[in-house]
Structure 1
């Protein structure tokens, strides 16, 4: 029960109003330590309730502040606009019975309007690192009195090249008392370096090993001959698979637009989401998907983090993601909060090695699936015999005893024979050959 936590009564009232009864494992592990003021580094699977695990302790810190609201007290950094919007909504839900105010700064919004919002001084500021720095450099953002910093999806921010930006923003908060870092994956050396720089003797909470991530999601692969064949498979799946809502992931914006155009031409209710779309279109795409106005979203990895849509139970990887962590985040859009989901990856010959490396990373083996109506010719790399020899390699002939026969070396044809050296009659000293006499003219 949430009542076991030392949360303010107004926050517990909001929790009850939202029908939160039993805390998830990440909430049960992180909230008590965060309430003690500890620095945390938390790894937990997508859809496990990480947002509430840091929002509630942050609100609890600020709910009884006696100071007049003249400074920003908490800073939450995230990699994408969509995740920032979702986090802001969660803060507003949990803070509904308090006087705490939150604001958001992301790219794609009017710069001057954001500056005006900052002059009102929200208690909590949520945003993406790039636009935060722009407002900081313009003199519109003051962070000297920030008490707590939250880095959500920190590994993704590093992947997007925000490492220096995040470090600088943390340094602009010299009086912070607590730093919380949350992610769905363990990240690499870059993340470990950041942890060493911005966290002070942190408590490490590993709620899931990478091999345990997205256990409620069936993971399948379907082989394809080429991109056009992949499109045929996608259309068959959307027409025949049982699902409420689906996301199709691509690696490029061009491919996302192409697939979206073909689906609309086939009368599928679809929207497209990628970095070239303006903020208005991005909001519209997500809202239509959440409200059921569209059943299918075609997207790049912009939608791979933080997107939480009820009823989203099918993910199709048109292109395999470039890393195991990105794969985890993509398929994490389905099978959330204990629900079941289906993730299907389409594999051409150029995708096989990447798919195999992701299987090794996850310590899992994906289910192979064949759809006879759209079956192609490619089914994976050539098989290898049990003896370890590739199919098609001829065996060397052996004699009856099992010994290998050695073929006699044939002398090259038409090669002139070497003349034997001339020797003296006693057989000791070689004789010099006489030059032939010149022919008579």
Structure 2
């Protein structure tokens, strides 16, 4: 469960805040009893049916901050109509991966409730999602495009929705989903509770909140003006030559204490190339990018979660919503395009009390991009040092043992992909039959 991390020992329990005993028991079986800051602040208001705006960085426990009161109200509120198989709650998230993650978390929290939940998103056949809706569903978690599509086709009823959640609203804005969101909101003309969660509050999101929320309470789970990156994340940035980045990354992956690691590439092609290169050097690696089908992406993410592989190479869009607490390292193989992408990327580590390391390899042609990120976020590294895969400074900064090698074993295949070529030897092309 994404919130399965330590909270403050003096924070109130879910039971103390009035959450239904069935939900408290389900959370307790996951080792969760006490609330995080965002949960402590939102629960009393959300359980009461108040509209709210929750502002907190990713990895701070937002899912249960809205998920617990949503389930509690659907199950037990006098203001919510009796369950009859048409949705009483709708959670909208920006990406397929986050839909799966939120769906899993809510399913576990609802394990002892007679509440039926499904996730709907693109990349999956319509038939299975329509069948689930026809059989009867109480809570829907979905992405904007597929939710709107199924609603417009008449397969998804929204007229009984009593609780609406917009999660990661700023990411939905970044991905161009705002028109779809507005259409969905206009379809919910009846009385209902709306909760909007966002790490940042750009102008269009504030306008959206003013238009569609009813006297919302704005909750921040951190101090005004606090840093946009987690204090528990150590940031290491240096200039690396494009031709040396694979060797540098190989050394970093041998650092002491390295656990699950996400490597970010800017393009689908680079993501595929880096994954193949690292598999060829003997690492257990998978990939998540736009050229892969949804089932293959889900398979890679599941393998990363359960430890089958400990390295995931991902593009930004594919990786949004990867909500895994025990990621120890994030490597920006290519410098992000803008400051918010940097914040989202490195937010995959140092989550909810864990410590993490975020490493950015700045190519010589990427210095201008880095300077914009550095200036806007106040990172105090305008001119990163130049390090190579053999630089002692690299080894010292990241606790890499002196004996770190160019490879760590026999070439492997990228998880779910073709077999890796032995480095230096391209795979032999298939022999053509002679023409007759």
Give the TM interval when normalised to the shorter protein: 0.7 to 0.9
Contact 1:304 1:333 in 2 (8 A): no
Equivalent pair of 2:55/2:197 in contact (CA under 8 Å): yes
Matches within 5 A, 1:168-207: 168-186=183-201, 188-207=202-221
Shift of 1:362: 2.2
Deviation sequence 1:211-241 (CA, Å, 0-9, x none): 153110001112023x222222112211345
Q: Deviations over 1:142-188 (max 9, x none)?
A: 111111110001111111110000111111111142111112233x2
Contact preservation (8 Å) 2:288, 2:319 = no
Contact 1:145 1:176 in 2 (8 A): no
Deviates more, 1:44-53 or 1:9-18: 9-18
Confirm whether residue 27 of structure 1 aligns to residue 39 of structure 2: yes
- Separation in 2 of the partners of 1:303 and 1:278? 11
CA contact (8 A) 1:46 1:214 kept: no
How far, CA to CA, are the matches of 1:184 and 1:5 in structure 2?
24
2:302 to 282, 287, 290: 287
Match of 2:247 among 232, 242, 248: 232
Give the structure 2 partner of residue 419 of structure 1. Answer: none
Q: Work out the CA distance in 1 between the residues paired with 2:43 and 2:311.
A: 35
- Does 2:281 match 1:266? yes
Other-structure match for 2:317: 302
Greater C-alpha radius of gyration: 1
| Counterpart in the other structure of 2:27 | 15
Query: Following the alignment from structure 1 to structure 2, what is the Cα–Cα distance between the partners of residues 152 and 212?
Result: 18
In the other structure, the counterpart of 1:42 is: 54
Using the TM superposition, name which of 283-292 and 188-197 deviates more.
188-197
Q: What does residue 69 of structure 2 align with?
A: 57
Change in Cα spacing, 1:241 to 1:282, as seen in structure 2 (3 Å) is same
What residue in structure 1 maps to residue 18 of structure 2? Answer: 6
What pairs up with 1:72-111 in 2 under 5 angstroms? Answer: 72-111=87-126
Aligned to 1:139: 154
The alpha-carbon deviation at position 137 of structure 1 amounts to: 2.4
Question: 1:255-288 deviations in whole A, cap 9, x for unaligned?
Answer: 1011111111111110110122112111111111
Aligned length: 374
Q: Secondary structure of 1:336's partner?
A: coil
> Deviation of residue 210 (structure 1)?
5.2
Structure 1 vs Structure 2 CA RMSD: 2.0
- Residues in 1 aligned to 2:385 and 2:326: alpha-carbon distance in whole angstroms: 24
After TM superposition, the structure 1 stretch with the greater mean CA deviation from structure 2, 18-27 or 292-301, is 18-27
Q: Distance in 2 between matches of 1:364 and 1:199?
A: 35
Q: Is the 8 A contact 2:162 2:193 kept in 1?
A: yes
Whole-angstrom distance in 2 between the partners of 1:275 and 1:134: 21
Distance of aligned partners of 1:321 and 1:372 in 2 relative to their CA distance in 1, 3 Å threshold: closer
Matched-pair contact (CA < 8 Å) for 1:220–1:369: no
CA distance in 1, matches of 2:269, 2:42: 41
TM-score (norm 1): 0.81
CA shift at 1:372, angstroms? 5.4
1:253 and 2:268 are equivalent in the alignment:
yes
CA distance in structure 2 between the partners assigned to 1:304 and 1:203 by the alignment: 30
TM-score by length of 2: 0.81
Give, in whole Å, the separation in 2 of the partners of 1:6 and 1:373.
55
Distance across 1 between alignment mates of 2:376 and 2:249: 26
User: How many Å separate the matches in 2 of 1:324 and 1:199?
Assistant: 29
2:434 corresponds to? none
Residue 408 of structure 1 corresponds to: none
CA deviation after TM superposition for structure 1 residue 360, in Å: 2.7
Is the contact made by 2:239 and 2:387 (CA closer than 8 Å) also made in structure 1? no
Q: 1:431 matched to which residue of 2?
A: none
Is 1:273–1:298's contact at 8 Å kept on the other side of the alignment?
A: yes
SS in 2 for 1:4: coil
Distance, in Å, in 2 between the alignment partners of 1:5 and 1:135 is: 36
Which residue of structure 1 aligns with residue 138 of structure 2?
A: 123
The 3-state SS of whatever aligns with 1:297 is strand
Query: Structure 1: how far apart are the matches of 2:83 and 2:310?
Result: 46
Q: Deviation at 1:346?
A: 0.7
Unaligned stretches of 5+ residues in structure 1: 377-441
Cα deviation for residue 6 of structure 1 reads 1.9
Partner of 1:216: 232
In the alignment, the residues of structure 2 paired with residue 193 and residue 68 of structure 1 have an alpha-carbon distance, to the nearest angstrom, of 33
**Aligned pair partner of 2:171 in 156, 160, 185:** 156
